Each structure stands twice: as C-alpha cells, then as structure tokens.
Amino acid sequence: MNLSKDSLQEPNTENATNGFSEEAKQLRFVEALLFASSEPISEEIIAQQLSVDTTKVKKLISDLQKTYSSRGINLSHIAQGWTFMTAPDLAEDLTVYRKVKRRLSRAALETLAIIAYHQPITRAEIEDIRGVALSRGTLDLLLEAAWIKTKGRRRTPGRPSTWVTTSAFLSHFALGSLDDLPNFEELKAGDILNSQGPLPGNNIESKTEPELFENHKED
C-alpha cells in the first residue's frame, strides 16, 4: 500500500481533558491532588492551586464525597484538611494486613489523653492529674511519634514548657479537630479511663510510672 506524504497526519497532541467541562477538569484535579498528597490538604490550599474561592472548593469536595461514598475509600475531613481513607466498614477486614510492632501502655495513653483534653499543659500538671510521676521516656515517645509538641512556656516560676497535640495526632486517630474528641463517658466505655477517673494519690514523688511499653525491657 502506497501512502503519500500528504496522507500522513501528525498524531493528535491535544490535551486529553479538552473533552471535559471546566468543572469536570477541576473535579479531576482535586481528586488527583488528594490522591497524590501524603497528608490532609486544607480547602484553602486547594483553592490556591485551582485559583478559585473556597466556596467553589466546598462544592467540588461535596461532589467527590458523594462519588466515593459507596466505594472502598472515602473522602474524609481529618486534621483540618481532606484526605482519602479506607471505608470504616472495611476496617475489620483490613486489620489482618496491618503490622503492629508495639503497643502503648495504659500510662502512655493516659498521658496522651491528658494532653489532648487539657492542652496547653506542663509536665508537672500532667503528673498532678495522673497522680504519678512521668517516666523518663513517656513524653519522648509521644514526641517521636509526632503526636505532641511544645508550645510556649507557662508564665510561672521556672517557665516550664507546655505541651499540645499535633495535626499528626488528629490524623492518626481520624479526628477532624479537637472538638471531635470523645467525651468522658465514651472514654470509660472504651476502657481508656477507669470509673474513678485520674489515678489516686497525692504524693507524686513517692510513685513511679509503669513501663512505657507493655512487656518492654530497658537495657
């Protein structure tokens, strides 16, 4: 078969998105942006990337939520931003694929809970609420996990540092904001706190905190 030069055509280099409406392009862009990000993205950042206002972003987010509402992943509001997460009803089935290297002790969980509910809070105030002294590694571990951070100093003698939770804490526990923290009754139902509340005891110096990790041995 003979082909003349005139019969040869250049390949179609038009943008594949030319067949989409402007809103459809924006929707696809937001979807791709959220998939590519390793952490939640705020509506303000999405608006900047699209050069639109946040009202438009809210509409796009709402449309995406509806699209993914019945799928294996959902669009969720976490740590004051948006991210894709596995659907909650699949959590039990997916648990077998999750590796758990170590488990926080009750003492570490109580410390984290106290910081979450009383932030900003100093080390001494944490010890006063728990009724026991913090062991050397408790705050270090929570700091290493990026769940807590220091935020300024208390205007009291010694100028002690105060502790608060981070966006990584909200993300790990699937909380949209601190307003979504469970109430006291929910904590008791989950066996995070006992029915007596904070551990008894006033003599902090005479007590020590249990091991940070269960079955953990220090060298």
- Tell me the percentage of the chain whose pLDDT exceeds 70: 71
Q: What is the CATH number of the domain that holds 26?
A: 1.10.10.10
Mean pLDDT of the chain, nearest integer: 77
Clarify whether residues 113 and 196 are in a common domain.
yes
Range of the domain at 30: 20-93
The answer to the question of residue 169 being in a domain is yes
How do residues 179-215 score in pLDDT, each as one tens digit? 888 876 666 665 555 433 443 333 333 333 443 434 3
| Final residue belonging to a domain, choices 48, 64, 93 | 93
Domains: count for the chain: 2
Cα→Cα distances 198→69, 111, 112, 163, 188, Å: 40, 11, 13, 19, 12
pTM: 0.49
Given pLDDT bands bounded at 50, 70 and 90, which one contains residue 94?
confident
What is the rounded CA–CA span in Å between residue 142 and residue 149? Answer: 9
Is the pLDDT assigned to residue 4 strictly greater than 50?
Answer: no
| Final residue belonging to a domain, choices 93, 119, 135 | 93
Clarify whether residues 79 and 151 are in a common domain.
no
How do residues 126-139 score in pLDDT, each as one tens digit? 999 988 888 878 88
Strand partners, 75: 84
| Final residue belonging to a domain, choices 66, 93, 120 | 93
